Amino acid sequence: MQNNLVILSNERFYLKENSYYCDNIAEKTLPDGLDKIFTTEVIGRSSNVERSHKLNFKKIRLFKYLIFYLLEVLKKIKEKKNKFLILSISPYTFFATLLFVFSNQKPTIYLRSDGYQEYKSILGFYGPFIYGFMFKTASKVASLISCRKYILRNNQGQIVSPSELTNNWIVKNNPANLEKIKLLYVGRLKIEKGIFSLIKIIQGKEEKISLTIVGATKKSIKKINQKNIYVHEIENYENNLIKFYDDHNIFVLPSYTEGHPMVLLEALARLRPVIIFREIDHIIENKKGIFIAERNKKSFFEKIDYIKNNYENIQNEMKLNHLPTREMFLKEMGNFINQISQITIKKS
């Protein structure tokens, strides 16, 4: 059976001293992890800007222009010995998907988040129409894997549980200090992540509350200038990241759209209660320790007061959560890719 896997990515990778770097942790985890199951290579986009997460993986082909990206994909399709995993739907990966229309091969597209909401937050009114066209076309060409059923929009597909958790996250939880409310946000400084709306909510509360942001680039750090906000660059070391969670008492995920956020699992693993906003209430499922606030000061601070007054009971409930691990996720992905590939081979 074919055991060669080509990953098609829209991610921009930075090459430095024979090592590759990217900003999206999933773009690191999947090549690094799946290379233990398949003979893997990545086709991605090149970047002149330094990125944060260093990959162990080395077999990456980078292209600056779309035409050369597509020619490389076409070359891999013609080899007729590869399985294909496409990471999300973007203009680059959409046009790559169209190349499979004239072949007997069927790629797998992995959808990590709701593109309709992402494109709306970035492009406004026209965003969902643009993404909708790409999604509907691509879903006729490819098999689908997603982290949430609703993202598939009634299309058939497999559901996986992404995770970056290792055993280090689950052992020896440190107690929280509740003398002052210390909020933590781990993520990028982007409009669709809702971080700027959170900053507005806590304005004027410098004496009562602080917010630590972990995940900024060097450029974006300069965007934040508020007395009770502390901004750090992306943290690559697991033990340091765990310490950030342990040094704070409430985690906030202010995104307008999320599929299966890794940071949510990290906060739950460290027994830190989580506040989210209404737009992403679907991520709760049966997990304990997640609280929904409206995107305004009154509702947000009511949730903080409730968590502070019931902290020990909330943590006891959180201990009942069953959280997926990175090892489980990669095994799940590998099994689904093989299953889909076997079905495609039989049909062709």
Distance between CA atoms of residues 240 and 110, nearest Å: 30
Distance CA 188, CA 233 (A): 9
Tokens for 155, please give them.
Answer: 């299309």
Architecture of domain 4-163+327-347: 3-Layer(aba) Sandwich (3.40)
Q: Which two tokens stand for residue 199?
A: 């900053």
Sign of torsion, CA 53 54 60 66?
A: positive
C-alpha 128/C-alpha 1 separation (Å) is: 39
Geometric angle at alpha carbon 46, from 40 and 52, rounded to 5°: 85
Secondary structure string (H, E, C) spanning 173-232: CCCCCCCCEEEEEECCCCHHHCHHHHHHHCCCCCCCEEEEEEEECHHHHCCCCCCCEEEE
């799940």: which residue's tokens?
332
Pairing of the two strands 181-186 and 290-293: unpaired
Whether 291 contacts 310, CB under 8 Å: no
Domains 4-163+327-347 and 167-323 share a fold: yes
Question: Mean pLDDT by 10-residue block, N- to C-terminus, for the chain (348 residues)?
Answer: 87 94 90 94 94 90 97 95 94 96 91 87 89 96 92 93 92 84 92 89 84 80 76 88 95 89 94 96 93 96 96 95 94 90 52
Calculate the CA dihedral of residues 85, 78, 2, 96 and round it to 10 degrees: 10
> Structural domain boundaries of the chain?
4-163+327-347, 167-323
Strand partners, 63: 45
Q: What is the pLDDT of residue 346?
A: 44
Name the CATH code of domain 167-323 (choices 1.10.101.10, 3.40.50.2000, 3.20.20.70, 1.10.10.10).
3.40.50.2000
- Determine the pLDDT at residue 348: 47
User: Following DSSP, what letter does each residue of 25-68 receive, concatenated?
Assistant: HHHHHHHHHHTTTSEEEEEEEE-SS--SEEPS---EEEESSHHH
Do 226 and 199 meet the contact criterion of CB atoms below 8 Å apart? Answer: yes
- What is the spatial distance between Cα 23 and Cα 218, in angstroms, rounded to a whole number? 13
Residue 282 DSSP label: G
CB atoms within 10 A of CB 162: 24
